[in-house]
Structure 1
Amino acid sequence: MDILEILVKEFKIKQKFVENVIALLDEGNTVPFIARYRKEQTGEMKDETIRDLADRLNYLRNLESRKEEVKRLIGEQEKLTKELELEIEKAQTLQRLDDLYRPFRQKRRTRGSMAKEKGLESLAHIILEQKIEEENLQNVLNTYINEEKGISSAQEAIAGAEDIIAEMVSDDPDYRKDTKKIIEQSGIINSKGVDEETSVYSMYYDYKEPIKSIANHRILALNRGEKDKKLKVNINVDENRILELINIKILKRDSTTKEIIKRAVEDGWKRLLFPSLEREIRNDLKERAEEDAIKVFSENLKPLLMQPPIKDKNILALDPGFRTGCKVAVIDGTGKFLDNAVVYPTHSEKIIEKAKETLKSFIEKYDIDIVAIGNGTASRETESLVAEILQELNKEVSYIIVSEAGASIYSASKIGIKEFPDLDVTIRGAISIGRRLQDPLAELVKIEPKHIGVGQYQHDLNQKKLDESLKGVVEECVNKVGVDLNTASPSLLSYVAGLSNKVAETLVSTREEKGKFKSRKELLKVKGLGPKTFQQCAGFLRIENPKNPLDNTGVHPESYDIALKLLEIEYKDKDIEALSKDLNVGKPTLIDIIEELEKPGRDPRDEMIKPLLRQDVLNLDDLKIDMILKGTVRNVVDFGAFVDIGVKEDGLVHISQLSNKFIKHPKDIVTVGDIVEVKIIDIDKGKGRISLTMKEV
């Protein structure tokens, strides 16, 4: 198997670029570094493509390694034929390789293995050869009767041989491949309710859908229903068609042992092959659905992390609650904690008035610009109170609903405790809500990405794969934005290319002991940060007001000499191609350097859509059919997008209502954080559901 050839074909990328990426990865370079600072070698490949290529490379290398192991294991049994070795070499997946190895794998005791122990394997082969005449069959069977071995009759001998044939059919890699293909193309996935009690799975209590067309989110729903013991799920297939397929391949016309073989094939199918393939196909469907869900989660996470920061604004952050009240935190424009309180906006009139007074005094005293309200329990009740206060105040103050997903996890985490050791856990949560408005990326990196709440069925997914994928997204965003070396937390620094958690902690402790870093070169004096790590991380770290202005740009130190030469000449009037040749630097790198020189310290998030600030509030009763509103996309899932339009529940724009043209997935039209105009098409007050459309709005 030529791994390079496969990668070139699958990714449709020139061979030299694939070769370069493989070499760069094998040298220990990080994906962000390769994507940003080795563009000439990669053909300007994006981060995602390099990650996908690295994952596929790893899979193919594991496949090659497993092939060698399988050949060795079969060879040790002295059963490795040239034909089988060729089939192993041709295997394109680990599953196919597993099927080829299946007949040779050591098994627990089975009916077939027990029949072999009785010496009936040779009889099974005689039956399969189908050459024996009817008059000779009984004589042959009699030779296998052996009371000591537990074979007291010809029928018992036949039954044992059938068990062996059944296992041979089940283990045959070609039968498995062919029958699996039929099930995948024509099988039906079925679900039945375990009882008649109404639940969130009611729509699946009597449900059928072809395997080939079932949507990924429905696969995950069925799996969860089965796990919660609310559903029984199985696969139905035309077994006569499959039995006929196998029999056609095995049976010879009018053979004496024809009926014995047919019985064995049917038993092998029902008892062994189908249950095994059903598990395998269900697992394949799960993996497919998980892969898609992880991809959607990753694509939702990126715009959330890349939301533009609201800088230099004093924030009044509210973490709402009913019984325990609404936790209030005041933070200044730099994110510094100033004050806190607890108010009760959902209690008696007297207590509500007191809450209003407290919030008004905070707004006046600390010159608050924006009120950030967490979107959890009692969020809309708190929003109503805030809107009322803002109308009463003669002051330009806005409010915004902020996702509080993961805030409670941050509050009780080591990071939260270290940042605010003297504060109550609930106040830390309010601070996090306010800070994630000021700088979403810097605050959200303190929380495991899977707890940020922009996916579907995330708790049912393969957690290792989910964590790896989301970590890659966070790493990409952090390195795209760049990190202030003198203010960044260890959490943020740990996502910078090449920096481990330990080195990130060392950087912060060095900063605290010796004062701010004045140049990137000083990084080389930090314990544990050698030349290779410096190469990977230096370009992504920024220093404000440095000795060398280039230290506050995305220009890598290895390109400083090019940047200095550019500053000495009138490069703006020169042709890029000619300039590239004159300076002996690649065109993509040159363009990047020029962009950095013209916008030093720029933040790519500033080009993103600004968050939607509000000053008034809506209730469900205020809504009417055909009303057009502006809202923020909170989550994108397989079947549509949830939009916050300023009432208690997010409205759903079903995939069919996102566009007049056909779309494969909602992500083709919207992303998390988008500000969209929507029209109300249905309101179900009883269930608190709002249906929206973006068509012709």
Structure 2
Amino acid sequence: MEREKMFQIIAGELGIQERQVRASVELMEEGNTIPFIARYRKERTGELDEEKLRAIDERFQYLTQLNKRKEEIIRLIDEQGKLTDELRQKINQAAKLQELEDLYLPYRPKRKTRASVAKEQGLEPLARYMLEVTDEESVESAALDYVNPEAGVETADMALQGAMDIVAEELSEDAEIRKWVREYTWKTGMLVSKAKDPEQRSVYEMYYDYSEPVHKMPSHRVLAVNRGEREEFLKVKITVDEEPILRRLEEWFPRQPHAYLKQAAQDSYKRLIAPSIEREVHATMTENAEEQAIRIFAENLRHLLLQPPVPGKTVLGIDPAYRTGCKLAVVDDTGKLLHVGVIYPTPPQNKIEESKEILLNLLDRYPIDIIAIGNGTASRETEAFVADVIKEAGRPVYYVIVNEAGASVYSASKLAKEEFPDLDAARRSAVSIARRLQDPLAELVKIDPKSVGVGQYQHDVSQKRLSESLANVVESAVNYVGVDVNTASPALLQYVSGINATVAKNIVKRREEAGRFKNREELKEVPRLGAKTYEQCIGFLRINDGTNPLDKTPIHPESYPIVEKLFAKLGLSPDRIGSEECNRELRRVDVEEAASALNCGVPTLRDIIEAVLRPGRDPRDELPAPLLRSDVLKIEDLHVGMHLQGTVRNVVDFGAFVDIGLKNDGLVHISRMSEKFVKNPMDIVTVGDIVDVWVVRVDVERERVGLSMIPVEQGKES
């Protein structure tokens, strides 16, 4: 398949122009990263976003592999002397690897099969004859001629069976038949699960006698059933109505089939076709479910990473615990560690008065604005204690529950040990909790994305595919926000377009040795940061209070001459960036006319004007701030119809989990998200959203709360 044909296919699939696909592939092959292309090469790609660019990359890689496999299969069949023009054409026209492998199946080297044994016994001519005649008597008569005890064919019945084995295998290897059966099974099949031991209690009991159409089964149920089967609680199979399949198989024969051919068709389906098609369909269900789970995880992760920062605040981070006590860490408004400690307000110690005195002393000693409490073990007991203490603080102090998922992973990591070599893991965790409130993105990039707790069945999906997808999300989020090169950690810098771990460490080392970077040009002095890396990364690196006011914007240095010409045209000085006069003049610019005059693209000029209008802007500032609290909520306080505000912590296929201030998050089922039908919960909410909810169900014993985003009357459980 030629490249141009690939571009045509991808353009058709994605609903874009061939020239956009061609330009995108060429840019990637030139060594440009996707964030760089999406931001700074809009004219060449026709303003394709990252999602489309990644889709182009993925499909182009797939089609390239498909092409290589076609060439290999053509070579292998040709070496057998069995390649015909018709077969070559079918191979070249195959659009999927599955279709390709179906075509290759009859020519694939096999281990010993019943059909291969029959061929060795000389029964292939009998199989050919069996296909040519329409009556059983002729076949039975012919079979007598193939009795050959020396070859292992001792009776006519054995000859007939061998011939049927050959026919059954040929039928099972027909690409059109396999395609038809696969599609039929997908459309009409039922996935059926049964308990291996109906008396055994487990979390899979709803699947102990369960069935659902294959093509309708949602991803979370597919993955749940798969896990139940893997843990040996369930037996799973796919069932179909076999009659239409057998009729279709009988149509494969050149003439009206007699009893022996019908028997061969039935054997072909039950022994050869059905088991492999069932495996393929189940694999497709699993693959689709995994892709959906990965998409959900990726989308949740993106929203988690892009939670608005809480800048300019001194934060007390608390990592709650029972026996070992609650670890404390005070960080100033820049994230610098000021104090670490421990208190024991929870069981079994219950040193409440002593803990209260320590906490009040910290509130007097440091200008703590917010207390960030991790949402793990002992979180709600710690929250109740904090809510009581801050009432005596003598000034407004608020607390917020922070999702601490991954904090323990970070605290035990090599990176954490390098940052805080003198602290134990628990105290490092408290620092992480405080900092992830101040700047979630800067702190969360230090953690393996799989450990941040916003997924669904993340351990049941392809770990390689999940890691790749989540790494792309982190890279996208970091470059979307931009990075202050004078404060960023190596962990954050290494996600910047074009920068690897070595260059990230070299940037920090250069900063520590020579002081703050004063302009973007100085980054060219960093070891291993060559011209291509500089081109890819520099637009995403910010220098606030530097010598060039453009260095704090996302404008790429390659576009600085355009800015200078634009300012000269408007009679402005670059040092007026951000002033009311400058903004007024910029808003009057006719972008298309100015782009023509400045000999630049309209998208580039549009981005330049937007960047200059809001220099130093953080796109996360436009999102709702975290929900701060000053008092605690108990499950016993709840009643049906109660109206609350909460923070969305996780979004899954079947709904969203919302933190309303209880030990466990409440669930808003997908059916209670809107008066209208909701296909995907992510169409309604995302991680971090502040939402109004109403209580619809309270289970005090199991500590579960059902919530609704549709108003509910007081006292009326629905």
User: Shared fold by TM > 0.5?
Assistant: yes
Are the aligned partners of 2:123 and 2:146 in contact in 1 as well (CA < 8 Å)?
Answer: yes
- 1:134–1:375 Cα change, 3 Å: closer
Q: Which residue of 1 aligns with 2:341?
A: 341
Deviations 1:370-392 (A, max 9, x none): 11011111111111111111122
1:503-557 per-residue CA deviation (whole Å, 9 max, x = no partner) reads 2222222323333322222222222222111111110011122222212211101
Q: Is the 8 A contact 2:187 2:215 kept in 1?
A: yes
Aligned counterpart for 1:198 among listed residues 197, 201, 204: 201
Aligned residues: 693
Q: Distance in 2 between matches of 1:411 and 1:54?
A: 36
What's the counterpart of residue 93 of structure 2?
90
CA deviation after TM superposition for structure 1 residue 349, in Å = 7.7
**Alpha-carbon distance between aligned partners in 2 of 1:532 and 1:348, rounded to the nearest angstrom:** 59
Structure 2 residue aligned with 1:146? 148
Rate the CA distance shift 1:154–1:589 in 2: closer, same or farther, 3 A. Answer: same
- One of 15, 18, 24 as aligned partner of 1:15: 18
* Structure 1 position 606 matched with structure 2 position 621: yes
TM-score (norm 2): 0.94
Do structure 1's residue 641 and structure 2's residue 644 form an aligned pair?
no
Gaps of at least 5 residues in structure 1 are none
Shift of 1:147: 2.1
Q: Please give the root-mean-square deviation of Cα atoms over the aligned residues, in Å.
A: 1.6
Deviation, structure 1 residue 350: 5.6
- 1:137/1:578 Cα in 2 relative to 1: closer, same or farther (>3 Å)? closer
What corresponds to 1:685 in structure 2?
700
Answer yes or no: is the 8 Å Cα contact 2:323–2:349 preserved in 1: no
> Deviations 1:49-79 (Å, cap 9, x if unpaired)?
1111211111111111211111111111111
* Aligned: 1:77 with 2:77: no
Which moves more between the two structures, 637-646 or 538-547? Answer: 538-547
Q: 2:27 aligned with 1:24, yes or no?
A: yes
* Mapping for residues 197-596 of structure 1, pairs under 5 Å: 197-250=200-253, 252-253=255-256, 258-347=258-347, 351-570=351-570, 571-572=585-586, 573-596=588-611
1:597 aligns with 2:612: yes
In 2, the alpha carbon distance for the partners of 1:141 and 1:638 equals 59
Structure 2 residue runs of 5 or longer lacking an equivalent are 571-584, 713-718
- What is the aligned partner in structure 1 of residue 676 from structure 2? 661
Moved more, 81-90 or 626-635: 81-90
SS at match of 2:83: coil
Q: Which residue of 1 aligns with 2:117?
A: 114
CA contact (8 A) 2:133 2:139 kept: no
Cα distance, 1:176 vs structure 2: 0.7
* Displacement of 1:575: 1.5
1:622 partner amino acid = D
Superposed CA offset, 1:659-697 (max 9, x none)? 111121000000000000001111111221111111147
> Among 677, 682, 687, which residue is 1:672 paired with?
687
Q: Provide the C-alpha distance between the structure 2 equivalents of 1:427 and 1:134, rounded to a whole number of angstroms.
A: 84
Answer yes or no: is the 8 Å Cα contact 2:363–2:393 preserved in 1: no
CA distance in 1, matches of 2:56, 2:338: 48
**Secondary structure of residue in 2 paired with 1:250:** coil
Deviation >6 Å, runs of 4+: none
1:144-190 alpha-carbon deviations (Å, 9 max, x no partner):
22222211111111122222222222221111111111111111110
Q: Please say if 1:187 is aligned against 2:202.
A: no
Determine the structure 2 residue equivalent to 1:68: 71
3-state SS of 1:328 partner: strand
Q: Secondary structure at the match of 1:233?
A: strand
Task: Give the Cα–Cα distance (whole angstroms) in 2 for the partners of residues 108 and 453 of structure 1.
Answer: 46
> What displacement does 1:348 show?
5.7
1:48 to 40, 47, 51: 51
- 1:610-629 correspondence to structure 2 within 5 Å: 610-629=625-644
Tell me the SS of whatever aligns to 1:143.
Answer: helix
Aligned mates of 2:324, 2:126 — CA distance in 1:
77
| Cα distance in 2 between the residues matched to 1:122 and 1:342 | 86
CA distance in 2 between partners of 1:139 and 1:197 (Å) = 57
The separation in 1 between residues aligned to 2:439 and 2:531, in whole angstroms, is 31
AA at the equivalent of 2:157: Q
Secondary structure, counterpart of 1:249 in structure 2? coil
8 Å CA contact 2:326, 2:343 repeated in 1: yes
Percent identity over the alignment? 54
Separation (CA, whole Å) in 2 of partners of 1:34 and 1:680: 47
Instruction: Give the Cα separation in 2 of the matches to 1:113 and 1:381.
Output: 71
- What's 1:631 paired with? 646
Shift of 1:237: 0.7
Q: 1:290 to 1:415 in 2, by over 3 A?
A: same
Are 1:125 and 2:128 counterparts?
yes
The separation in 1 between residues aligned to 2:186 and 2:84, in whole angstroms, is: 31
